[in-house]
Amino acid sequence: MNKIDLPDFMKYKDRFSQSGFVETISRVAKRAGAKFVYAALVLFYTLQSDKVSIKDKAIIIGALGYLITPLDVLPDAIPIAGLSDDLAVLIYVLHKVWGDVSEEVKQKAHDKLSRWFDEDELQEADNLFDGSQED
């Protein structure tokens, strides 16, 4: 079996700067919904953790990269359906790394979320994995 050289995913980590990511996510926040934004924030803050494996960081970078790239399976400009592929990717990756997500990261993401959504909308984020498939 031939060895496959994977790119150094960690060299792209700096593309997910705090200000750049927050600016991107804030532009779609209300349209995307609390569940979407919470999933993205949890992955972003998990990426910054030193308790997460390089493998998990690579898949998080892939998911966040898919989120912020203008190339999508379903263009984000399509009402309702446009962000559904992004949400599916975020939830899938979040489900994979959920065991390594600290309570501190969850709280930090929730605190940021509460700046953009009211209490009723925040409840949507409490049911993060509702409607997602289990492995």
Per-residue pLDDT reduced to its tens digit, 97-112: 999 899 999 999 999 8
In this predicted structure, the answer to whether residue 84 has a pLDDT above a threshold of 50 is yes
User: Does residue 77 surpass a pLDDT of 90?
Assistant: no
* Res 37 pLDDT > 50: yes
Residue 78 has pLDDT above 70, yes or no: no
Q: Give the span between the Cα atoms of 65 and 4, in whole angstroms.
A: 22
What CA–CA distance (Å, rounded) separates 1 from 128? 39
Residues of the chain with pLDDT > 90: what percent?
Answer: 24
Top pLDDT among 5 and 51 is at 51
| Range with the poorest average pLDDT among 59-73, 77-91, 118-132 | 77-91
What is the CB neighbour count within 10 angstroms for residue 32? 21
| Mean pLDDT (the chain, rounded) | 76
Task: Say which residue, 73 or 29, is predicted with more confidence.
Answer: 29
Q: Residue 8: which of 43, 56, 58 has the closest Cα?
A: 58
Mean pLDDT of 84-103: 88
pTM above 0.85?
Answer: no
| pLDDT over 60 (residue 119) | yes
